[in-house]
A and B are shown apart, each in its own frame.
Chain A
């Protein structure tokens, strides 16, 4: 890919898209001016010109695949032979799959909780200090970089050298300076999962922080003033007034991070590729998409399992928006 072809690609890609809207709308106006179609037909037709590309893409890229994945999960590896719940029975007895489920549950427990907690504490502290904006900016920065980039950053932090050598990983350098043996962190089962989760917490805390920060500004000042006059301590104000007030925001943040964590893939693939008991569903699915020539049945099944985790949040979201539309 050279720079000239990059420009050509970008230009044609967007031009085609823009031309569709422009030409089809002009054609409609032209047709109505020439009275080939009636004025009333024109206003009936126009919405479909507006929505057609999006709806077609929605159907091809989201709706059809979702249904098809559900179907494939009941079919064999090539997708041609119906096998009933055989894939599901296989999964229930597969140690690798069970490990992935357990790990995903661990991720679901740790990452949203810690990210939300740190995010709230930082947002609260930063609001009180003059350099709070700078602090928030720094904490938020990991949100901008890729999971793979974050993986490299943390792999460097976790780097391991033999006990005799100088450690170049920051974590082991600290451990050694405190007088302990250096550890190959990524290879210690159970703990390595926590070290991987730390990366995600490091990234998502920024997200939680900015959302909390916006919500904190909505708390009525008078309420806090009143509590202070009554002699409540900062800690009490935080736990008794602020946290209850932010209940809905906490729930929103928790759902966003939960959805992200259910799909966690890049970090695992880059750091361990599921070795040393760090397998997760999304990585296992990617693996099965290509393992042994690809197994669409088992791959689809794993996608379905991830989807099942998302469904309660999806229903809650739709309800919430229906209420919003009414009010």
Chain B
């Protein structure tokens, strides 16, 4: 019995180890995208939840804000932001001695004036003579900063770095590139399953062969076709309709294959009965096949949509790399080159690009997995 419990614990621990290893990289990215960009560049994301010690410089107010009380002059104010949540531990008035004074200890300046700073950043500067300084006095503080999360990175990435635009571009590529093959291939798959015509079996063998043809085999000739067509009509060679067609072409084999396996598995009596009643194949397709195939359509839709959304190569080759056409993955790759050290932009940009796939993944995981399994183990 003891041995059984031990095995059980071992199994739990081993699986936990896998899960933690698998989730940590993504979790780190997710947390980092909400961090302050200066903290992000200097400390690991795992310290996000710690209270950090930070060194900062502030300036007091100038002589204009002084108040006179009984012949003594005061300048009062607060160094810190109201909502910062920071707590000052120590401070200094010269850069050489940044930590000279503890909280509530008075700092005495050369001109005999006194500064006193409390934990929440409030300060009182007291002098016998009137203040004359026109720039505020520099104060160096060491403070404890609580974990801080911000949406600033998202604002910057979406509106200033062009990720928002790229997001729309990717949608413009992905939606038709999913719907068009779905329509074309469902008719094709139906014909391959239930209609008789010359060359049917050869055509299906061709589809099975095309399943594994690497994209790379098609790129160079296609690019030159695109250039020729563009030159013939005197338009740009790269356009959205062009990229939809390319994705339709590259997704054709797998979409047809999956749909055909599903449509072929429907009971033949049903289709034959409808034929006997005089229904045309088009009627059968619209009235019987489509309603029954909704789960299969869902699987295929998700697979193709994710494939297109996550694609980089086709987007690089068949679209211009300009703001109005660049897709998310290409944009991210560009940022990796040009802003390689700006982790606030990279982490946030990557997370924005992952939102749609992750949403689909969590909402429709069942169909996604069903499609993948059907595509690999024969359906």
Contact = CB atoms under 8 A, between A and B. Distances in A.
Question: Which among B220, B250, B313, B336 has the greatest number of chain A C-beta atoms within 10 A?
Answer: B220
A263 B377 contact: no
Interface in A290-327: 296, 299-300, 302-304, 306-307, 310, 313-314, 317-318, 320-322, 324-325
B197 A47 contact: yes
B248 A57 contact: yes
Interface stretch (B98-106, B153-161, B178-186, B266-274): B178-186
A46 B281 contact: yes
Interface string A155-167: 1110100000111
A314 B190 CA distance: 24
A57 B220 contact: no
Contact of A146 (B191, B312, B373): B312
Contacts of A314: 209, 212-213
B196 A47 contact: yes
Interface in B20-65: 22-26, 28-29, 32, 40-46
A232 B74 CA distance: 86
A129 interface: yes
Contacts of B40: 168
- The range of chain B's interface size is 35 or more
Contacts, number: 336
Contacts of A55: 188, 203
Interface stretch (A6-14, A81-89, A92-100, A108-116): A6-14
B169 interface: yes
A107 interface: no
Interface in A241-274: 249, 252-253, 256, 259, 262-263, 265-266, 269-271
Contacts of A132: 15
B324 interface: yes
B66 interface: no
A285 interface: yes
Given A47-B197, A211-B372, A148 B22 contact: no
A46 B185 CA distance: 15
Interface of B: 7, 11-12, 14-15, 18-19, 22-26, 28-29, 32, 40-46, 165, 168-169, 171-172, 175-176, 179-180, 183-185, 187-188, 190-192, 195-197, 201, 203-225, 240-241, 244-246, 248-250, 252-253, 256, 280-282, 306, 309-313, 316-317, 324-325, 328-329, 332-333, 336, 343, 346-347, 349-350, 353-354, 357-358, 360-361, 365, 368-369, 372-373, 376-378
Interface of A: 1-3, 5-6, 9-10, 13-14, 17-18, 21, 25, 29, 43-44, 46-48, 50-51, 53-55, 57-58, 60-66, 68-69, 72, 79, 118, 121-122, 125-126, 128-129, 132, 135, 137-149, 151-157, 159, 165-170, 173, 202, 205, 207, 210-211, 214-215, 234, 249, 252-253, 256, 259, 262-263, 265-266, 269-271, 282, 285-286, 289, 296, 299-300, 302-304, 306-307, 310, 313-314, 317-318, 320-322, 324-325
